[in-house]
Structure 1
Amino acid sequence: MRTTRVSQETKRVADALSTSKLRGTRRSIVNGLPSSDDALDATEGAGKRDVPSAPSSTAPSLGKRKRDGMSTSIAKASDENAAFVRRSSRKVPKLESDDIKREVKPKAVRPPKRIKGPNGALVVDPPPNWEKVYDITAAMRKRVLAPVDTMGCENLAEETRSPRDRRLQTLVALMLSSQTKDTVTAVAMKNLQDSLPGGFCLEGLLEVEPEELNLLIGKVGFHNNKTKFIKAVAVILRDQFAGDIPDTIEGLVSLPGVGPKMAYLCMSAAWGRDEGIGVDVHVHRITNLWGWHKTSTPEQTRAELEAWLPREKWHAINHLLVGFGQTICLPIGRRCGECDLAKQKLCPSAVASSPVKRRVKKEVVIKVDDLEDGVVVKTEEMAVQEDVGIKVEPEVEDDC
């Protein structure tokens, strides 16, 4: 059915008025303004009701009432808390200094001081308590047998050979010990003593073929290079040193495969002269852990130690710390729980340790005698033992 233009316009006006009425109602609820009905009556000229005036400043709005209510509740809560605090008669107990248990940590060791003497010479002040640390370490070493005590390089030479041959064997043992455990070095030395033509002497090293020599020392580290070095050293000793090893540090370090550490140890073990300290990985590592110095190479450690350590201890300190590094102060998994230095707070690098449980298999054999033939019953028991300290992993290398 068609609608006239007048009816369509009337519908638009009605829709517009209904929308404005809804919007006006929402605004009137929030702001307290007159509703859209009042506005519509005013526009239509009804004149029956006056438009109410805007709310005065004294009339509180809805948002203000909410804020006032929140502030009132907060004030009440604070008053209740204050009343509760006033009613409480308990007093906070004061902690006495004796009740607080503080863990005493070892103090950092002061490095040696370098002071110029009256004549301009450099005088090095030794670390504090170094003698106490040295003596305690020596006491611990006496309780535990280390591989270096029985298989060290200075113990591998044959006693039945001549002094010249023993010095040569000591030098070769030091060359083999680099990057090699003492147990492996001892086996290689035994092979040379039993298998070289004419025995372990200079003539035997000159006569043996390189391939055979390599097989005899094949278990040591870098045995291919050491085979070349030993053959070259034998020729140099025959041609330049009258068949004997050099008796100076300069002569020893001139040999292929011989470094400063080997030279100082060889001078002490073979010739009985302490020209310097033989610093290997154990001496370098442990003295830095003790805080005696902060060095990055064994040669720097040797220079630092020789500046203040008494000369009579130059030979003993290598043997002392090598054994200590093989038994207690291991390169991996230090046994600080067994170290007396850690217990007396003398080692600044000590770490906390916990018991490590190890399974030990025990075999129990029971013989039954009441039978004619006799029956042997074999049983196995698993026992758990606790070992104080950090789990020890296999050591990578040992140096004499």
Structure 2
Amino acid sequence: MPQVHWKTNFCYVVRTLTMTSPYFMQSRPVITRSGDQNAASLRSKLTTRRRNQGPGSSVEVKVEPEEARISEQRPSSAPLSTETDALPLSSHSRRRKQLKVEYDEDEGVPPVKTEHWEPPDWKKQLGYIREMRSSRDAPVDNMGAEKCYDSDATAHVRRFQVLVSLMLSSQTKDQVTAAAMKRLRAHGCTAESILNTDDEALGKLIYPVGFWRTKVKYLKLTSAILQKEFGGDIPDSVQGLVRLTGVGPKMAHLAMDIAWDQVSGIGVDTHVHRISNRLGWLKKPTTSPEQTRKALEEWLPRELWSEINWLLVGFGQQVCLPVRPLCSVCLNQHSCPSAHKSSPTKRPKAASPCSPDPTSASTVKTEPGQESDVKHERLKKEPLPTPVSPNAPKRKIKTKVKY
């Protein structure tokens, strides 16, 4: 029984405190955290107005309590009362003072600048090369890809012939390429005509270009793609051109320049690759034409990309030869770091060859992805087979017998 009496007294005390607590009494106004007493008075006014107004003003009554609720949530702009000032504020309710952050400027420290590398004296060297090429009498000037297409043909046929001439010119002298293109144009140099020509007849038309057997296969595969996807025309982008069989980056950039009149990059062949390394036009020596192209495009102004191939190819055909370059007649002999290292004592005669056969095994350079076909082609270096009559007498082989 004493335990029950104790529980009863405890519940009575709790109920008394609950009923007498100011937080549970409806008559006393509640002081908000921000010290706004206007909310309590506004609530009492709204209650009185509800009683006095009739049922027709229900819309206004609904709107005003919403405004009252919003006003309770917003901090009041009125000054705090004395009762509110007396209450201690927690650390979270204090308004922190905003600090203005200023950064000291580093005086005397220059901004970091990225240096644009370019070879020394390259403008002077380029001017001398232009002067040496002013006569325009190199093989590339008269028999290059710009001179091998039929100017009277339609636009898409001309572009196709430019691509064919570039494909044939790989590892082949310009004189041989021009003669092969002349025979192809007489036969009909279009994608459709090449597809309708058998391999043996096509090989006789382009012979003796370097690796003519491999190029017969490339021409057939490329013509089939162009006829099916482009209607006999060639793609108008480097990405589309390099997808074609037997077309590398050098051919693609030259085709974009000659056929489409768009400069997409520098066409780097064996001459541009060799001369750029000899002149020191690269940050470090390169081992492939594609590396040379990327290194040249990093510093050479874009307005010179189209001209540089024509200048250096003709310069490499006449003066800066692959073997025994003619440094004694070169205007850059005093600024070229490779001058007079392998130059002959006197100019060779016009009738004597100045450079080895570009189709020989020692000087062959291929486009990326063609190494296996070129290696297979080297094993078949004999000329076109001549047909043998079945009635021809057979030659007897004599053997010597030693006793």
Report the TM-score, using the length of structure 1 for normalisation: 0.58
Match 2:314 to one of 300, 320, 323: 323
The aligned residue for residue 159 of structure 2 is 167
What displacement does 1:139 show?
Answer: 0.5
What displacement does 1:394 show?
Answer: 3.5
Q: Measure the CA separation in 2 of the matches of 1:331 and 1:286.
A: 9
Give the unaligned 5+ runs of structure 1: 1-117, 361-390
Query: Is this contact kept in 1: 2:265–2:305, CA < 8 A?
Result: yes
The aligned residue for residue 147 of structure 1 is 139
Query: Is this contact kept in 2: 1:268–1:275, CA < 8 A?
Result: yes
Query: Is this contact kept in 2: 1:261–1:279, CA < 8 A?
Result: yes
The aligned residue for residue 182 of structure 1 is 174
Structure 1: which 4+ aligned runs deviate by more than 4 Å? 356-360
Q: Deviations over 1:310-368 (max 9, x none)?
A: 111101100100000000110012111111111xx1111111642368699xxxxxxxx
Q: Deviations over 1:215-269 (max 9, x none)?
A: 1011101101100110111110111223210011110000000000000000010
Q: Measure the CA separation in 2 of the matches of 1:193 and 1:248.
A: 25
The aligned residue for residue 303 of structure 1 is 294
Q: Which amino acid aligns with 2:254?
A: L
Q: Measure the CA separation in 1 of the matches of 2:353 and 2:192.
A: 43
Matches within 5 A, 1:277-296: 277-293=266-282, 294-296=285-287
Query: Is this contact kept in 1: 2:160–2:232, CA < 8 A?
Result: no
Q: 1:313 to 1:358 in 2, by over 3 A?
A: closer
Would you say how many aligned residue pairs link Structure 1 and Structure 2?
Answer: 246
Q: Which amino acid aligns with 1:242?
A: G
What displacement does 1:396 show?
Answer: 2.3
Give the unaligned 5+ runs of structure 2: 1-110, 360-364, 366-403
The aligned residue for residue 354 of structure 2 is 393
Q: Measure the CA separation in 1 of the matches of 2:279 and 2:152.
A: 41
What displacement does 1:296 show?
Answer: 1.2
Q: Measure the CA separation in 2 of the matches of 1:246 and 1:200.
A: 17
Match 2:244 to one of 255, 259, 270: 255
Query: Is this contact kept in 1: 2:327–2:339, CA < 8 A?
Result: yes
The aligned residue for residue 55 of structure 2 is none
What displacement does 1:208 show?
Answer: 1.3
What displacement does 1:124 show?
Answer: 3.3
Q: Measure the CA separation in 2 of the matches of 1:201 and 1:183.
A: 21
The aligned residue for residue 59 of structure 2 is none
Q: Which amino acid aligns with 2:326?
A: R
Matches within 5 A, 1:1-400: 124-143=116-135, 145-195=137-187, 199-293=188-282, 294-342=285-333, 345-351=334-340, 353-355=344-346, 393-397=354-358
SS in 2 for 1:333: coil
Q: Measure the CA separation in 2 of the matches of 1:209 and 1:280.
A: 30
Q: 1:184 to 1:356 in 2, by over 3 A?
A: closer
Q: Which amino acid aligns with 1:264?
A: H
What displacement does 1:128 show?
Answer: 1.5
Q: Which amino acid aligns with 1:257?
A: G
Q: Measure the CA separation in 1 of the matches of 2:273 and 2:249.
A: 14
Q: Which amino acid aligns with 2:304?
A: K
Q: Which amino acid aligns with 1:241?
A: F
Q: Measure the CA separation in 2 of the matches of 1:330 and 1:237.
A: 37
Query: Is this contact kept in 2: 1:193–1:200, CA < 8 A?
Result: yes
Q: Which amino acid aligns with 1:134?
A: L
Q: Measure the CA separation in 2 of the matches of 1:226 and 1:359.
A: 31
Q: Measure the CA separation in 2 of the matches of 1:224 and 1:189.
A: 16
> Whose strand proportion is higher, 1 or 2?
1
Report the TM-score, using the length of structure 2 for normalisation: 0.58
Q: 1:206 to 1:353 in 2, by over 3 A?
A: closer
SS in 1 for 2:357: coil
Q: Which amino acid aligns with 2:309?
A: N
Identical residues among aligned pairs (%): 47
Q: Deviations over 1:52-73 (max 9, x none)?
A: xxxxxxxxxxxxxxxxxxxxxx
SS in 2 for 1:341: coil
SS in 1 for 2:116: strand
Query: Is this contact kept in 2: 1:333–1:392, CA < 8 A?
Result: no
